[in-house]
Amino acid sequence: MNFEDLELNEDLLDALYDMRFEKCTPIQEQCIPYILANRDLIGIAQTGTGKTAAYLLPLLTLLRRDPHPSDAVNCLIMAPTRELARQIDQALQGFSYYMDINGVAVYGGNDGIRYEQERKSLTSGADIVIATPGRLITHLNLGTLDLSRTTHLILDEADRMLDMGFCEDILKIVEHLPEKRQTILFSATMPEKIAELARNIMHDPAEVRIAVSKPAEKISQSVYICKEGDKTGIIRHIFTERKPERVIVFASSKQKVKDLHIRLMKDGYNVAAMHSDLEQKQRDDVMLAFKAQRIDVLVATDIVARGIDIDDITLVINYDAPRDAEDYVHRIGRTARAGREGRAVTLVGERDRMALSAIEKLLNEKIPRADLPEGMETPARTKSGFSEKSAKTGQGNRKNKHPRKNKPQVTSEKSEKDAPTSRPRSETSSPKKSNNRHRRKTRGQKKQAETSD
Ligand code: AMP
């Protein structure tokens, strides 16, 4: 289905044309009509499916289609992490490029300047507030934020918010909203606690489910069964086979990330680290540098595993197998985005075997084993039931190679460059109106006349 077939705002369709969004993804095709009909909605979909546009596009349409007060926060979007909040904000900037929409991202950081910026933006009014729960509570407690007229609530990655212990915060926040509202919940999984939350805060929700917990088919997966101490050597081996570019290495603890970062840096790789000990500014800088391809390898904790939209990732390496099998799907989902190909390699040491079993159970398939580099041995069988047989040596797996592909630019230049985190939308959008606006060919005479002005 094309976006033009849905009852979306015309200015929005212009922005989608510029961004080269043509066909809806399945989650978009199924969710957009429900949201446009003002229904509550539960969307079960992981990142990479296009879920952000699935709720932002109809919401922006509703904000313009139906009467909404200009001095109220009309729409609240909650996200578990600053990175996701920021990414949603960037998507919003792209989609609302030709619209006069005020959006404010409220996601914390430890500096007073940032807080003051948020406070000012909130006071001057916002159609849409994108927030992490903790920071939102701070603003509510300090009286900087009034949600009493907010008619649209979106919980993005609700399962992750609950995993992070935000359930009470969410319920507290919901108490500030009017009873009569539209509530939209997106989650990668549907455990009982999400169903319970939905029962508490939603009204007769429609449900859309898009294949959960399955990695994209184009990801070529492999596993190295190795000794814990050989992991860095295997990474070096992989990087020797092919110069690393657009690579993310996930490790499950901050310490491992820091250690590996230092080791790879000493080896001369162009590498950066991403973990929650970094200041917000440092985190932003690292993500921006990686996005802009100034960094080849990003070593990160699961902070980057979900919801973060970084394009062109060719290779994801799991330095360890994540304990939560769902996280495996999220981690490797950073590659092979939007139908492209990618490779995911998992290093399974002695302590990762149980986690590997859980992952393979979830996927319902055995992940192909790669041959260890020469001189390395598979660890011996242990009581844990690990059944890899003899030691394997030889050349690394050469099957899983994919040429790097260029992705069409889908995020707006504006969001890549300016990336303001908290700003009145009108400040950034209005100058564009007078620029040479790139119109869709299918628009009528009236719109064409506007272009030639
Ligand atoms: P999400 O699941 O929202 O994180 O989106 C994953 C990626 O797909 C992002 O880079 C989006 O910009 C891109 N995307 C989402 N919907 C479409 C679409 N209909 N056409 C092309 N790209 C899309």
Kindly report, residue by residue over 64-95, the tens digit of the pLDDT.
Answer: 999 999 889 999 999 998 889 989 999 999 99
Determine the Cα–Cα distance for residues 227 and 240; give it in Å rounded to an integer.
Answer: 20
Determine which residue's CA is closest to atom 15 belonging to ligand 1.
Answer: 50
**Ligand 1 binding pocket includes 338 (Cβ within 6 Å):** yes
pLDDT over threshold 70, residue 433: no
Q: Which atom of ligand 1 is nearest to the CA of 87?
A: 4
Closest CA to ligand 1's atom 8: 50
Ligand 1 centroid to Cα of residue 199, in Å, is 29
Q: Quick one: pLDDT at residue 7?
A: 93
Between the alpha carbon of residue 56 and those of residues 124, 224, 325, 368, the distances in Å are 22, 40, 29, 38
Residue 258 CA to residue 241 CA, distance in Å, equals 24
Q: What is the mean pLDDT of the chain?
A: 81
Supply the pTM of this predicted model: 0.61
Nearest CA to ligand 1 atom 21: 21
Interhelix angle for 133-141 vs 112-123, to 10°? 70
Closest by Cα among 184, 232, 229 to 38: 184
Q: Does position 411 have pLDDT exceeding 60, yes or no?
A: no
Nearest CA to ligand 1 atom 6: 48
Distances (CA, A) of 69 to 127, 212, 297, 326, 398: 9, 37, 46, 41, 59
pLDDT tens per residue across span 200-214: 999 999 999 886 556
At a CB cut-off of 8 Å and minimum separation 6, what does 134 contact?
Answer: 108, 166, 169
Query: 180 CA distance to ligand 1 centroid (A)?
Result: 30
Q: Is the CB of 309 under 6 A from ligand 1?
A: yes
Neighbours of 235 (CB within 10 A): 25
Residue whose CA lies nearest to ligand 1 atom number 20: 21
Ligand 1 atom with the smallest distance to the CA of 3 is 19
94 lines ligand 1 (CB under 6 A): no
The dihedral through the CA atoms of 435, 440, 441, 447 has a sign that is negative
Ligand 1 neighbourhood includes 53 CB (under 6 angstroms): yes
Selected residue with higher pLDDT from 18 and 47: 18
> Which residues partner with 250 through β-bridges?
300, 318
Phi, psi dihedrals of residue 379, rounded to the nearest 5°: -65, 155
Residue 394 Cα, ligand 1 centroid: separation in angstroms?
40
- Per mean pLDDT, which of 32-36, 190-194, 407-411 is the most reliable? 32-36
Which residue did the predictor score with more confidence, 178 or 360? Answer: 178
| Tokens 């996701």 -> residue | 84
Chain CA centroid to CA 320, Å: 21
Cα 58 to ligand 1 centre (Å): 15
The residues, any chain, with a CB within 8 Å of residue 83's CB and separated by 6 or more, are 283, 287, 303, 304, 307, 308
Angle formed at CA 231 by CA 229 and CA 233, multiple of 5 degrees:
95
- Which pair of tokens denotes residue 187? 């989650």
Highest mean pLDDT among 132-146, 352-366, 395-409, 422-436: 132-146
Matching residue, tokens 């973990």: 275
Q: Is 410 in the pocket of ligand 1 (CB under 6 A)?
A: yes
pLDDT band at 190 (very low <50, low <70, confident <90, very high): confident
- Minimum mean pLDDT among 134-148, 167-181, 193-207, 209-223: which range? 209-223
Q: Could you tell me the distance, in angstroms and rounded to a whole number, from the CA of residue 238 to the centre of ligand 1?
A: 29
Residue with the two structure tokens 């992991």: 231
Give mean pLDDT, residues 11-16: 96
Residue 239: its pLDDT value, please? 95
What are 23's strand-pairing partners? 2
